[in-house]
Amino acid sequence: MTALEKIERGPIAAATSGNRLTVELTETLKLAVPMALTQLGQIAMMTTDLALIGRLGDEAVAAAGLAHTVFFVCFTFGMGLMSAVAPLAAQALGARNPRLVRRSLRVGLWAGLLISLPMMAFPLYGEQILVTLGQAPATARLAQQYLFGLAWGITPALWFLAIRGFMGAINRPEPGLWITLAAIVGPRNRGRFVLFSLLGVAFFFYCLVHR
């Protein structure tokens, strides 16, 4: 039996009317601050990437920008699908149905895996897409090299979005923050792929056992 099967009323429900506002504010901050820091951490990730690429010159920065544009076009579809995990988990948690709480994440992870397979094909043709749109062949070729690395990160990135939304829905947003901070200070490229994959799977089991 996991702790999810022992869902109890939170502190807000048990609070008296006198300190209800204080409790609600405290619980909101406990939920919102880690989420806000996670968003700032993702911005820091992009900033460090840009700083590293900037050392290679203007053409490298331009190629990385084009690569991210191509990547984001297909990744948006996965982001929309993964955004359904949080409301489904929150609804199941409010209904005190631990089975559906776990299922919301499990289905989200499977959906992320399945949708990532066709999504990976789009970045692999990034050079042809950019040339067709009128970009310089040399810059498009350089962007394609960058896309080869980004394509393999689609699955763990989608899993991270699903896990982050799920942990926020069950009032435990801290793991998403720790994963993001580890990705900032960890090795780039392949190291980030490993961090998102292994830490994401680890926190998946953590949230099933400790909630």
pLDDT tens digits for 31-80?
Answer: 888 888 888 877 877 777 777 788 888 888 888 888 888 888 888 888 88
Residue 73 resides in a domain = yes
Q: Do 78 and 112 form a contact (C-beta atoms < 8 A)?
A: yes
Residue 8 resides in a domain = no
Residue 135 resides in a domain = yes
Share of the chain above pLDDT 90, in %: 8
Range of the domain at 79: 13-209
Residue 68's pLDDT is 87
Residue 200's pLDDT is 52
| Count of domains observed in the chain | 1
CB atoms within 10 A of CB 92: 21
In 3-state terms the chain splits into helix, strand, coil percentages (rounded to 5) of: 85, 0, 15
13's CB contacts (< 8 A; 6+ apart) are none
Token pair of 20, please?
A: 């209800």
Residue ranges of the chain with per-residue pLDDT less than 50: 1-3, 189-195, 197-198, 204-211
- Give the global pTM: 0.72
CB atoms within 10 A of CB 157: 22
Block residue for tokens 């090299």? 145
Residue 4 resides in a domain = no
Residue 111's pLDDT is 92
